[in-house]
Amino acid sequence: MQFFRVVPLGVLVGMILGCGTSSDGISSLKEGKPLANASGSDPLDEDKPFVLGDLVPPFDPPSLEQLEEQVAAGGGWVDRPVLDSLKLLRERQAQEPLLASVKEALALRNDSEEDNAKILSALGRLPKDDGDVNYAAQITRATPQALNKQNPLLASSTTEFEVSSLTGFGLFGFDWNFTPYASSDAVTSWRTSKDGLYDKVIMRDDLLWSDGTPITAHDIEFSFKVIMSEMVPVPAQRTGTDAIKCVKAYDNRTLVFFHNEALETNVWNVNFSIIPKHVYENSIAEDPTLSDSDYHVQLEESPVTGGSYEVVKRNQVEILLKRRESAYMFDGKQVRDKPFFETVRLKIMRESSSRLLGLMAGDIDEMMLTPQQWDAQTNSEDFYKRCTKVRGLVWTTFSFQWNANTPFFADPKVRQAMTLAFDHEEMLRVHRKGLDQPCTGTYHPSSRWYPGSGNAVGLRIEPVKQNLEKAKQLLDEAGWVDTDGDGYRDKEINGRRRKFQFTIVMTNLPERIALCELLAENLDLVGVECNVKPLESATLQDKTQKKQFDAAFGGWGTGADPDTSENIWGSGQARNFVNYKNPLVDELFEEGRKLPEARKLWKDLGVWKDPELRAYLEIDPQIAEAKPTREDCYAAIHAVLWRDQPYTWLFCRSAFEGLSKRLRGYNFSPRGIMGYGPGFGSIWVPQTD
Amino acid sequence: MIVEREVMANETAINAPRAIGFWSEAWSRFRRQRLAMTALIFVLFLALIAIFSPAIVGTKPLICRYKDHLYFPAMGYFYEAWENPIFKADGIKNSYPNMKKNDPESWAVWPLLYQDPLRRVKDGEWAGVSGNVRNKSPNRLNLFGTNAWGQDVFAKMVHGTRIALLIGFVSTGIAAVIGIVVGAAAGFFGGWIDWLLSRAIEIMMCIPVLIVMLALISIIEEPTIWHLMVVIGVFGWTGIARLTRAEFLKLKQLEYVTAAKALGFRWPRLIFRHILPNALAPIIVPITFGIAAAILIESTLGFLGIGNPDKTSWGRLLSEGKENLQMWWLIVFPGAAIFLTVLAYNLIGEGIQQSTDPTLKASKH
């Protein structure tokens, strides 16, 4: 069974800026645009009647026959993958050589790349057959907060996303390569029209909500309308979803998504959180908040869910989820894989040190280790008695972020100087314990959209090395010089002499504070005073969203699609906290979204028209008449950003996992061992244990 | 005759045994208390460490001659601007041993140990000495080991003494000034002033200090250790004020005060010249305890990581230990330092109480 393997695409971009104590430090929010709406929306008119789906522009969908005719005229349907992600993983593993036996792997100490690969290879395997699995097993994980909302539409904290990934129903998912698919657990067929304007999905007829009512196409249509209703306070859910023109259920199983434009990103837009129509259709008009009325409060206590688990107990100490039988049984027969765990226990633990103690004592089965814990606290006999550890590359990048709206960082030269003044080697070797890779820009070097990895952008980006003399020179060129001999640079701005003195903000976690102190120490040497101000995570999030900071230290997880970073770099976008503005980048994002045939030619793009920039990007002049691929567009964005240095990119964080020796089946994706398909769904406990 | 009488009077004055003053009597009594004396010596020892911290351990020369000028870079540990900017401009700040490269004629007097409280000492900084390794237990180079970022714990401890003592003195100094002024005014003037000030004291006592402190620190744009001192001081004066008030209520009834009043002295003179010196003994006791409490509060805040604690704060070291339980040296050394310092101040306070309280004095003899 794989409902739980379908990762809600609501969890696209992980933001790390503000969430210090979560297990992975990533709070998952949907893309950023709506955040601006959330903070700046007009007060709603209380007397206005509730209209379901009032944000959807009027559109009268054709009948199914008319639609079929239209699509046939436009070239017909194209089949899209309908997959079982466990099967997919099993097929992958069948191709991979087994590097060690389970026994060997359990006896290994993870001291080298080789041992890491061996442990992952042996313990990451799926069970050979059902007989191997202990289906009565419980897994205990740590989570940073208590559960406030169970409704997947209202989820906003790490814990809520975690719970809704276990209890929520979804049609789509993506694998470790970020290839999107429809889940065969929920869907029998998925087809896209040749012109890219329609997606047609046929759902299975053996799907049940936890109250026994069938899950139908009407639930998906209803959920779309709910998300697109102004009075429903779920602005974060609307990003992407708002690019859909209409969702129409033609019968219980047939569902068609109508798109405004043929975009590469439509495959992600069709994936939104789903709630049961029969439960909410009569109550939503009375209480569009979905949480205030008595009925909704009651529902929050015992919700109707569609995922493979349901919450049976929740308090300030833990959240207990049990396997839901009706998720894999239908008419007395097993119709889907049975989830591997009978119970999932999420213990609320904030401190990573107490989590580690819990892991070693057997109180929890899995946790994300800090580099310091990986390096110094998990090498003892004591640790290896019950646990083992693995690491993998994830596309989570950390950076110093320079607010271009301040008098200091508007000039790219200053930002370049900051990057050059920082001691990257000390950071990687001492602060990151030599366990992380240097980060060289917004996309990960192993992704297809990184310059030089098989795309038209030839620029080779090398990690930066500290160069104080160059940094001083750039600051001089930018007009920042020490005129009063106090050891700090200054510059006349609007008739006033201003000292180069700014504050950097970060979450108050020791390792982050220490890294910013290293920056302050380095900048002092080039005559720049940097104050380090740790903030509590909620305050930090608030300050960054309101752009009330000079510089910030933080990071971003990866979305499944490169387009998701538009809200970080697009002019005026909600997560563009640093006020980076570049029409060339905006244009490239727009082009990257389009289907290949709709894209502009290279020679018509802004980056091509600037000969200096073209030379910098090292694009072959021969391809002027060709159209850029998606990868080309994002690689060019990456390179332009690297030139402008709106961030000082620091390191790509490896994921360090501490795991109980009884667990099997964990595999890394660029989003860690959980946030993809199958992710958590592939983890199991052997029978013998 | 008159002259004779005067001479006689003078003679009597000369022959009379000199009365031992209150304070010298108290001091001699204090000296006899072994524990209190040990504590006092310990605190003086800490004060010496604090004053001479840059000479004990540091990476900046105490004195150096560079390009024909004398400089005192180590003063930068006390206040950053006291480190001459020429070193920054010449690129030798944080790598002072390189001075010779720029000026072969230069010379320098170095601290006893080449380690830095603020940063990691890197390979080759000091010829023949390897750089600091992170997570290192105490060894020859790092007497108290290193932390997770390879910074020397001994250097942090030594320079942290300055913070601990400073925070104790400054914040309690502020508290004492406010407390004595408010208490003296309330006790001396009485009436509605007393009523008003007493209510103010009571209101202050109802405020949950730690929570207000956290709120204030989060409001301050760039909190420094000085802000912390002021905040601790501003909220820690009520005990002192109440004691002062009580003492003033008692003393102002005495004849010598009435006599002073009769002589036409105005209230400032009465308060500060006549009453306060006699009221001081019982007030010093809570001041001493206040110092201990302030050190503890700073360590607590440092431990909780609230309001950018100073890099050398003992509390901050301790909080690093919390994250790294196996690194005992991050817990034992700062823990012991905080414990001993607070204990010492408490013992001193108790000693002062023993030696100045007439009732306790009576019971002792």
What are chain A's domains? 9-99+108-347 (3.40.190.10), 397-652 (3.10.105.10)
Quick check: B307 pLDDT over 70?
Answer: no
Q: What are phi and psi of B296, to 5 degrees?
A: -65, -40
In this predicted structure, the answer to whether residue A518 has a pLDDT above a threshold of 70 is: yes
Q: Which residues of chain B have a CB within 8 Å of the CB of A539? A: 218
Chosen for mutation from A356, A381, A508 (greatest number of chain B CBs closer than 10 Å) is A508
Instruction: State the burial class of residue B215 (Cβ atoms within 10 Å of its Cβ: 0-12, 13-18, 19+).
Output: exposed
pLDDT higher at A544 or B364:
A544
Q: A430, B325: Cβ pair inside 8 Å?
A: no
pLDDT band at A386 (very low <50, low <70, confident <90, very high): very high
The confidence band for B358, taking pLDDT boundaries of 50, 70 and 90, is low
Which among B134, B222, B324 is the nearest to A503, CB-wise?
A: B222
Which member of A353, A469, A521 has the closest CB to residue B119?
A521
Question: Does the CB of B322 have a partner CB in chain A at under 8 Å?
Answer: yes
Task: Note the Cα A156 to chain centre separation in Å.
Answer: 13
Pairing of strands B57-58, A172-174: unpaired
Q: Pick B322's closest partner by Cβ from A353, A377, A511.
A: A353
Helix (H) or strand (E) holding A551: strand A551-556
Q: Note whether B93 contacts A: Cβ–Cβ < 8 A.
A: yes
Which of A464-473, B120-129, B254-263 tops mean pLDDT? A464-473
Which band of pLDDT confidence, cut at 50, 70 and 90, is reported for residue A45?
low
The CA distance from B68 to B82, in Å, is 18
Return the DSSP state at A458: -
* Cβ contact A377–B148 (<8 Å): no
Predicted local confidence at residue B17, as pLDDT: 67
Distance CA B340, CA B338 (A): 6
Phi, psi of A74 (to 5 degrees): -90, 5
How many separate helices (H) and strands (E) can be counted in chain B? 16, 5
Cβ contacts (< 8 Å) between A370 and chain B: which residues?
323
Mean pLDDT value across residues B133-148? 92
Is the CB of B150 inside 8 Å of chain A's CB atoms? yes
C-alpha of B111 from chain center: 24
The Cβ of residue A149 has, within 10 Å, a number of other Cβ atoms equal to 18
- Residue from the list B89, B221, B324 with its beta carbon closest to the beta carbon of A377: B324
A649-667: average pLDDT? 94
Alpha carbon A182 to chain centroid distance? Answer: 19
Q: Which of A37-41, A332-336, B174-178 has the lowest mean pLDDT?
A: A37-41
Q: E-assigned strands of chain B?
A: 57-58, 63-66, 69-71, 107-109, 113-114
CB pair distance less than 8 Å for B85 and A525 = no
The whole-number average pLDDT for the span A105-126 is: 94
Question: What is the rounded CA–CA span in Å between residue A355 and residue A144?
Answer: 10
If pLDDT is split at 50, 70 and 90, which confidence band does B41 have?
very high
Residue B58's φ and ψ, nearest 5 degrees, are 175, 175
Residues whose CB falls within 8 Å of the CB of residue A615, separated by 6 or more in sequence, listed in order: none
Once rounded to an integer, what is the mean pLDDT over residues A485-499? 92
Which residues of A are less than 8 Å from B227 in CB distance?
Answer: none
With CB atoms and an 8 Å threshold, state whether A513 touches B320.
no
CA distance A118 to A679: 19
**Is the model's pLDDT at A274 over the cut of 60?**
yes
**Residue A661: pLDDT over 80:** yes
Could you tell me the end-to-end alpha-carbon distance of chain B, in angstroms, rounded to an integer?
A: 46
Distance, CA of A555 to chain centre: 11
CA distance A269 to A196: 13
Query: Which residues, numbered 5 to 24 in chain B, qualify as contacts with chain A under a Cβ-Cβ cut-off of 8 Å?
Result: none
Q: Which of B345, B231, B343, B202 is nearest to B297 (CA)?
A: B231
Domain B153-364, CATH number (from 1.10.3720.10, 3.30.930.10, 1.20.1250.20, 1.10.287.1080): 1.10.3720.10
- Structural tokens at position B119: 């940063």
Q: Is B131 on the interface with A (CB under 8 A)?
A: no
Confidence of residue A9 (pLDDT cuts 50, 70, 90): very low
Give A521's contacts in chain B (Cβ within 8 Å): 94, 118-119
Residue of A nearest to B91 (CA): A525
pTM exceeding 0.80: yes
- Provide, as residue numbers in chain A, all residues whose Cβ is less than 8 Å from the Cβ of B324: 353, 372, 376-377
SS3 readout for A235-276: HHHHCCHHHEEEEEECCCCEEEEEECCCECCHHHHCCCCCCC
CB B26 within 8 A of CB B357: no
Which residues, listed in sequence order, are joined to residue A225 by a DSSP beta bridge? Answer: none
Average pLDDT estimate for A164-191 = 93
Q: Return the C-alpha torsion angle A563, A564, A570, A572, nearest 10.
A: 150
Residue type at A160 in one-letter notation: E
Which residues on chain B are in Cβ contact (under 8 Å) with A433? 134
pLDDT over threshold 80, residue B365? no
Where residue A23 falls among pLDDT bands split at 50, 70, 90?
A: very low
* Residues above pLDDT 90, as percent of chain B: 51
- Residue A648 gets the label, from left (phi > 0), alpha (psi -120 to 50) or beta, of beta
| Residues 6+ away with beta carbon under 8 Å from B95 | B125
**CA–CA separation, A438 and A427 (whole Å):** 9
Mean local confidence (pLDDT), A466-495 = 94
Question: What pLDDT score does B15 carry?
Answer: 62
* Angle at which helices B314-323 and B329-356 cross, to 10°: 140
SS3 A366: strand
Q: Residue B278's pLDDT is what? A: 86
Question: Is pLDDT above 70 for B257?
Answer: yes
Mutant choice from B133, B146, B149, B226 vs A, greatest count of A C-beta within 10 A: B149
Q: What is the pLDDT of residue B207?
A: 86
Average pLDDT over residues B332-340: 94
Calpha distance B42→A376 (Å, rounded)? 35
Cα dihedral A323, A677, A657, A670 in deg (nearest 10): -160
Chain B: nearest CA to A374, how far in angstroms? 11
User: Which of the two residues, B83 and A10, has the higher pLDDT score?
Assistant: B83
Judged by a CB distance cut-off of 8 A, whether residue B134 touches chain A is yes
The answer to whether A374 touches A433, Cβ cutoff 8 Å, is yes
> Where does A93-179 show beta strands of DSSP type E?
138-143, 172-174
* β-strand pairing of B63-66 with B107-109: antiparallel
What percent of chain A lies above the pLDDT cut of 70? 93
Nearest Cα of chain A lies from the Cα of B308 at a distance, in angstroms, of 6
Nearest CB to B323; choose among A469, A510, A536: A510
- Inspect the interface and report whether the beta carbons of A534 and B305 lie closer than 8 Å: yes
First-residue to last-residue Cα distance in chain A: 23
What pLDDT score was predicted for residue A100? 94
Q: Which residues of A touch B (CB under 8 A)?
A: 352-353, 357, 370, 372, 375-377, 380, 426, 430-431, 433, 468-469, 482, 485-487, 503, 508, 510-511, 513-514, 517-518, 521, 524-525, 527, 531-536, 539
| Strand A309-314 relative to strand A318-323, pairing | antiparallel
Position B154 pLDDT exceeds 90: yes
Is the pLDDT assigned to residue B208 strictly greater than 90? no
Q: Is the pLDDT of residue A141 over 70?
A: yes
- On the question of pLDDT at A6 being above 80, the answer is no
* Per-residue pLDDT at B176 exceeds 90: yes
A309 pLDDT more than 80: yes
Count of other CB atoms within 10 angstroms of residue A469:
10
- A contact test, residue of B323, B325, B328, B331 with most A CBs within 10 A: B323
Place of tokens 């860690």: A672
In the predicted model, what is the mean pLDDT of chain A? 88
CB contact under 8 A, A376 and B327: yes
pLDDT, one tens digit per residue, over A400-433 is 999 999 999 999 999 999 999 999 999 999 999 8
Residues of chain B with CATH 1.10.3720.10: 153-364
Cα A413 to Cα A177, A191, A475, A550, distances in angstroms: 36, 49, 7, 16
Do residues B56 and B113 lie in contact, with contact meaning Cβ atoms separated by under 8 Å?
yes
Q: CB-based contacts of B225: which residues, under 8 Å, 6+ apart?
A: B163, B166, B167, B298, B309, B310, B313
Which residues lie across from A655 on neighbouring strands?
A: A392
Q: How confident is the model at residue A378 (pLDDT cuts 50, 70, 90)?
A: very high
Q: Do A534 and B308 touch (CB under 8 A)?
A: yes
The count of CB pairs under 8 A between chains A and B is: 78
Comparing alpha-carbon positions, the chain B residue that sits nearest to A531 is: B222
